[in-house]
Amino acid sequence: MLWALRKALTLVSVYFAYMMEYRGEILFWMLSGVAPFFFMSAWSEAARRGLTPYQANDYARYFFAVFVARQLVIVWAHWNLSEDIRSGKLSFRLLQPIDPVWVYLADHLGERGVRLPMMFAITLVFFWLYPHALVWPGAAGACLGALLAALAFGVNFLVSYSIGLLSLWLEDATEIFDLWYVATLFFSGMLAPLSLYPQAVLQVIAWTPFPYLVYAPAGLWSGMEVDWRRGLLALLFWNLFFLLLSRWLWRAGRRHYSAMGA
């Protein structure tokens, strides 16, 4: 157990150091995640004209939470895998006495170490501009939200990793992840709080992972009504589902690996 922990720590710290080098890039990447603030502005304008069930301040709280939740679940394993498979770098990873999935996971966790301090800075600026949006959701809400966000990251990472493995058959599978990304964009509550969506749409997406990837944690943090029990259940189920899928793809796909020198 101890040796596993030590290995994990080493891997994560290596990738933390690696990502520190590219902090400028990460900053711009974070800034490209500011779209929720524009949606906040549009819904606040709607609220100012007195047309929606929420107040402008509710939207500020909600969309800030959406911004945070989205930052936490960002993944790019599909991109790494696709690159490694095409260029043959995967060969070296196969030689290491460790399943490559841990290396990709460490890459993501190390990056969070660089992203979190920058997120803190953006948080300060936001609450300086919108001081009324600063409302503590309570310890229970905060912790539950963090748990759901962690599970949401799990689903996102496993999907990204599985799609990356498809590159073993398709050469380049990165565009397939964009499909997942677009579905997340529209059904995870980034356009508006899900409570404003029509009932019919909500029923269709109720058991898909999408409403829980962003809306569930963001809703808990900003005091919207969230069915967290169902969210927890759905996220656990989809984690298991994509875990099994990715294991199976890894087993079946390795035989197809035929990059330079393999």
Partner 1 sequence: MRYLKLLLTFWQTSLAARMEYRTAFLAAFLEAGLEAAGKLFGVYLFYANGFDFGGWRWQEALLVMGLATLLDAFFIAIFNPNLRRVSEMVQDGRLDFVLLKPVDSQFWMSTQQFAAVGLPFMVVGVAIVVYAGVISGLGAGGWALLALSLAASLLLAYSLAFIFATTAVWLVKIFNVVYFLNTIVWTGQYPLQAYTRPFRLFMTFVLPIYFMTTAPAELALGRRTALWLGPLFLAALLLFIASRVFWRFALGYYSSASS
Nearer to partner 1, 97 or 131 (CB): 131
CB-based contact 110:12 (threshold 8 Å) = yes
Q: Quick one: which segment of 70-78, 134-142, 183-191, 205-213 binds partner 1 (CB under 8 A)?
A: 183-191
- Binding residues for partner 1, rule CB under 8 A, total 40
Show the binding pattern over residues 24-53: x = contacts partner 1 (CB under 8 A), - = does not: xxx-xx-xxxxx--x--xx-xxx-xx-xx-
Q: CA-to-CA distance for 126 and 67, rounded, in angstroms?
A: 11
Helix axes 100-129, 77-87, angle to 10 degrees: 140
- Confirm or reject binding of residue 192 to partner 1 (CB under 8 A): yes
CA nearest neighbour of 108 among 75, 79, 78:
75
Nearer to partner 1, 149 or 173 (CB): 173
Instruction: Quote the strand ranges of 85-210, DSSP E.
Output: none
Q: CA-to-CA distance for 169 and 260, rounded, in angstroms?
A: 15
Nearer to partner 1, 180 or 228 (CB): 180
Instruction: Tell me which residues in 6-25 interact with partner 1 (CB under 8 A).
Output: 22, 24-25
Instruction: Tell me which residues in 122-181 interact with partner 1 (CB under 8 A).
Output: 170-176, 178-179
Out of 9, 116, 121, 182, point to the residue binding partner 1 (CB under 8 A). 182
Q: CA-to-CA distance for 241 and 30, rounded, in angstroms?
A: 29
Q: Quick one: which segment of 1-9, 184-192, 222-230, 238-246 binds partner 1 (CB under 8 A)?
A: 184-192
What H or E segment, with its residue span, contains residue 190? none
What is the three-state SS of 18-57? HHHHCHHHHHHHHHCCCHHHHHHHHHHHHHHCCCCCCCHH
* Residue 262: CB minimum distance to partner 1, A: 19
Binding interface with partner 1 (CB under 8 A) = 22, 24-26, 28-29, 31-35, 38, 41-42, 44-46, 48-49, 51-52, 170-176, 178-179, 182-183, 185-186, 191-192, 196-198, 201
